[in-house]
């Protein structure tokens, strides 16, 4: 659900790939195949069993973070370290800060966290640094990344660019588009919006009609989309930067009888979004790889704790995978769909 300030960027060390949109992209235009092999220290479970790594997600109930937790759990088992999973059930800075303080009292060897605010979580996270506990952010991050041992996220700016280019292709590179974002100040969704807007500017016959914020409410996103459709008759596309914007936008477009005329790009293959994709209510889905983010974060923490800090990049980007209605039932795509149950 980041953005970086000047540090070198690296591709995830796990083998990952971007799948091009079938029938929509010329070879090499949007997605490129990226491969990298793990280079972390070899696992020594007996020696590592003394390590405890804590993972605080943005919220515990979202399939994105559940999938991340499963990836982290699998890697922790592989390396023989203990993983603590603890967080709030809703996306809330007010609720996350007490969780961070509680986890600090348990004094884990390393902290992995998805901060719910780019500024407000700095002070609580600094308490870990002062206690000698390395911190790696996953998914979201802080404005001041200098205190972090590392940060891992999807390439959210690029994800926004992919959404914009795909809509532009579908619309014949002309018309107006809109963005329905969640709330300002969340590093990941802000970056998606920025990438989308930057890409649209490259098309001389396209423009941005409006950018709106839905406060994580699909009902509000639906109302906003209804109004946008009425106000902008040249609208050809809308980009929902997360599940809620996609749900609201897709539902409004369908109810307005505009499906297939106004193209909807969405983020994250959560169950509700996948259903909309397979029904054709939304047309393209930018899929992150949270399991890879979780696994990489555990590996990096392990590297630091076992004296291999030099292997840990300051910033890691995990590439996105594109799904369309046409390929949404393909096993090569469905394997990226998010999980709803946390592994034990």
Choice among 5-9, 103-107, 167-171, 208-212 with the minimum mean pLDDT: 5-9
pLDDT at residue 55 greater than cutoff 50: yes
pLDDT at 35: 29
pLDDT at residue 308 greater than cutoff 90: yes
**Rama region for 97: left / alpha / beta (φ>0; ψ in -120 to 50; rest):** alpha
Same structural domain, 225 and 109: no
Among 231, 263, 282, the domain-final residue is 282
pLDDT at 262: 95
- Mean pLDDT, all residues of the chain: 86
pLDDT at 57: 98
Tens-place pLDDT, residues 152-180: 999 999 999 999 999 999 999 999 999 99
Same structural domain, 34 and 169: no
% the chain with pLDDT above 90 = 73
Same structural domain, 113 and 164: no
pLDDT at residue 218 greater than cutoff 80: yes
Assign 29 a pLDDT band (cuts: 50, 70, 90). very low
Please give the Cα distance from 301 to 53 (Å, whole number).
8
pLDDT at residue 39 greater than cutoff 90: no
Q: What are phi and psi of 87, to 5 degrees?
A: -175, 180
pLDDT at 27: 30
Please give the Cα distance from 325 to 279 (Å, whole number).
7
Same structural domain, 16 and 145: yes
pLDDT at 326: 87
pTM of the model as a whole: 0.76
Give the ranges where 118-217 is alpha helix by DSSP (H): 122-130, 156-170, 187-200
pLDDT at residue 7 greater than cutoff 70: no
Give the ranges where 202-242 is alpha helix by DSSP (H): 218-231
Tens-place pLDDT, residues 279-290: 888 898 999 999
Judge whether 338 lies within some domain: no
pLDDT: is 45 or 130 the higher one?
130
Please give the Cα distance from 147 to 122 (Å, whole number).
9
pLDDT at 83: 97
Same structural domain, 263 and 177: yes
pLDDT: is 59 or 259 the higher one?
59
Six-digit token pair at 9?
């960027």
Tens-place pLDDT, residues 60-118: 999 999 999 999 999 999 999 999 999 999 999 999 999 999 999 999 999 999 999 99
pLDDT at residue 138 greater than cutoff 90: yes
Six-digit token pair at 275?
């259903």
pLDDT at 199: 97
User: What sign has the CA pseudo-torsion 190, 192, 197, 202?
Assistant: positive
Same structural domain, 175 and 264: yes
pLDDT at 20: 33
Same structural domain, 14 and 147: yes
Same structural domain, 257 and 222: yes
pLDDT at 25: 33
Same structural domain, 148 and 251: no
Mean pLDDT of all residues in 181-202? 92
pLDDT at 36: 33
Q: Given strand 284-287, what is the order of strands in its sheet?
A: 206-213, 175-181, 235-240, 263-267, 284-287, 321-324
Please give the Cα distance from 225 to 57 (Å, whole number).
30
Same structural domain, 28 and 150: yes
Domain count, the chain: 2
Assign 16 a pLDDT band (cuts: 50, 70, 90). very low
Same structural domain, 141 and 17: yes
Same structural domain, 144 and 180: no
Instruction: Please answer whether residues 146 and 129 qualify as being in contact, where contact means their C-beta atoms are separated by less than 8 angstroms.
Output: no
Tens-place pLDDT, residues 249-304: 989 998 999 988 999 999 999 888 898 899 888 898 999 999 999 999 999 999 99
Q: What are phi and psi of 86, to 5 degrees?
A: -150, 135
Secondary structure element (H or E) that encloses residue 245, with its range: helix 243-255
**The domain that contains 210 carries what CATH number?**
3.40.50.2300
Judge whether 341 lies within some domain: no
Judge whether 196 lies within some domain: yes
Domain range for 72 is 9-154+289-319
């Amino acid at each position: 659900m980041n953005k970086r300030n000047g540090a070198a960027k690296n591709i995830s060390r796990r083998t990952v790939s971007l799948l091009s949109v079938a029938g929509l992209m010329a070879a090499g235009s949007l997605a490129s195949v990226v491969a990298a092999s793990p280079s972390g220290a070899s696992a020594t479970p007996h020696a590592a069993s003394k390590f405890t790594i804590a993972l605080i997600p943005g919220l515990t109930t979202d399939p994105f973070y559940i999938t991340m937790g499963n990836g982290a759990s699998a890697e922790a088992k592989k390396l023989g370290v203990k993983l603590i999973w603890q967080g709030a059930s809703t996306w809330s800075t007010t609720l996350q800060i007490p969780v961070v303080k509680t986890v600090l009292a348990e004094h884990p060897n390393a902290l992995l966290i998805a901060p719910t605010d780019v500024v407000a979580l700095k002070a609580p996270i600094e308490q870990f640094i002062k206690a000698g506990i390395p911190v790696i952010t996953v998914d979201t991050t802080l404005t001041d990344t200098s205190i972090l041992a590392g940060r891992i996220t999807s390439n959210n700016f690029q994800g926004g660019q992919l959404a914009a280019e795909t809509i532009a292709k579908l619309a014949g590179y002309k018309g107006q588009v809109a963005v329905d974002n969640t709330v300002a100040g969340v590093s990941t969704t802000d970056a998606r919006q920025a990438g989308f807007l930057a890409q649209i500017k490259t098309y001389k016959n396209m423009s941005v009609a409006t950018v709106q914020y839905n406060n994580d409410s699909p009902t509000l996103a639906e109302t906003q989309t209804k109004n946008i459709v009425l106000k902008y008759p040249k609208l050809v596309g809308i980009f929902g930067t997360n599940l809620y914007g996609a749900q609201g936008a897709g539902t409004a477009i369908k109810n307005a009888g505009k499906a297939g005329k106004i193209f909807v790009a969405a983020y994250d293959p959560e169950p509700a979004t996948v259903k909309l994709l397979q029904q054709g209510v939304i047309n393209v889905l930018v899929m992150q790889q949270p399991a890879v983010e979780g696994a990489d974060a555990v590996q990096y923490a392990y590297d630091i704790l076992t004296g291999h800090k030099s292997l840990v990049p300051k910033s890691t980007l995990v590439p996105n995978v594109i799904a369309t209605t046409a390929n949404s039932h393909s096993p090569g795509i469905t394997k990226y769909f998010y999980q709803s149950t946390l592994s034990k």
